[in-house]
Amino acid sequence: MPASSGNGAVTRSTLRQQIADALRDEVLAGRLQPGQEFTVKEIAEQYGVSATPVREALVDLSAQGLLDADQHRGFRVREYSVEDFRDMIEARGLVIEGMFLALTEGRPNAVRPDDPRSAAVVAGVRRRGEEAQRAAAAGDLTVLIGYDLRFWRELGACFGNPYLADFLNRLRVQTWVCAVQHLRRLTDLRGELWAGHTQLVDALIDRDNDTARAIIAAYNAHSVTLIERLASR
C-alpha cells in the first residue's frame, strides 16, 4: 500500500539520522577511538535495529568525513593529522568570511540585529554562547561541544545563506572530531578551551565586523596552537 510504504520510508529515514547522530556523538565523546573498526552487523546488534538504516547512517558519516569505509573490513573512525586540522581551520575561516560578506551586503534573509523582530533570534544565539562559555570555563568538553555546535549552527543561520551555514556546521563537526583526539588526553581542560562566544555575538550586534574578524582570528590561532602543542607531546 502506498501510504504504508511512505510511512515506512519516513521511519527508516528518521532511524538512519538517529543512528548517525548517536555514532557521531560516540566519536565526539571519545568512546569510538580514531582508527577503531566496526561492521554494519556490530552496530545493528548494538542498537537492536536492522542493517539497512545502519548502513545508510555509516555511509552518511563517511560522506561527512568522519568515517573511512573499507570494502572488506567495514568502517573505521577516521584518523586526522595536525595538518588536516590546520586545513580545516583555514577552510572554516574562509566560510565565516563569506558570511561576513553576506551580512555586509545586507542579504534579504539575514538577521538584522537592529530589527526588533530579530531580537529573540539573537537572544537565543547569545544564550547558547553563554552556555558554551560556562562549559569551556569548567573544562567540560562534552557539554561544550554540544552547545558550541548549536551556537554556530544558529549563528550561521542568521547570515541568510543556508548553504554556507550547512557547510560551516559540517566543518565544525569535523574540526571537533579531529580536536577531541588530542583534547581528551588532558585530564583538566579548564583554561584551555576558547570561550569568546558572547563577545563575538556582541560584536556582530554592534555590526563591528573588524572586531568580529579579530575575535575569529584569535580563536583560530588559539585552536591551532593548542592542538599542535598537544600533538607534540
Taking phi over 0 as left and psi of -120 to 50 as alpha, with beta for the rest, 48 belongs to left
Angle ∠(101,164,220) on CA atoms, nearest 5: 75
pLDDT of the residue at 5: 41
Task: Say what the pLDDT of residue 129 is.
Answer: 96
> For position 14, what pLDDT does the model report?
87
- H/E run at residue 75: strand 74-77
* pTM reported for the whole predicted model: 0.86
- What does DSSP say about strands 37-38 and 74-77: parallel, antiparallel, or unpaired? antiparallel
Cα(142)–Cα(30) distance, rounded to whole angstroms?
9
Do residues 160 and 111 make contact, with C-beta atoms less than 8 angstroms apart? yes
Predicted pLDDT of residue 207: 80
pLDDT confidence of residue 180: 93
DSSP-assigned letters across all residues of 113-127: TTSGGGHHHHHHHHH
pLDDT in tens, the chain (233 residues): 333 344 555 455 689 999 999 999 999 988 898 999 999 999 999 999 999 999 999 999 999 989 999 877 899 999 999 999 999 999 999 999 888 777 666 666 666 656 666 778 888 999 999 999 999 999 999 999 999 999 999 998 888 788 888 999 999 999 999 999 899 888 899 999 999 999 999 988 888 889 999 999 999 999 999 999 999 98
Q: What is the pLDDT of residue 205?
A: 82
On the CB side of 89, CA atoms within 13 Å amount to 21
pLDDT at 173: 94
**CA distance linking residue 201 with residue 161, whole number of Å:** 18
Task: Report whether 161 contacts 107 (CB < 8 A).
Answer: yes
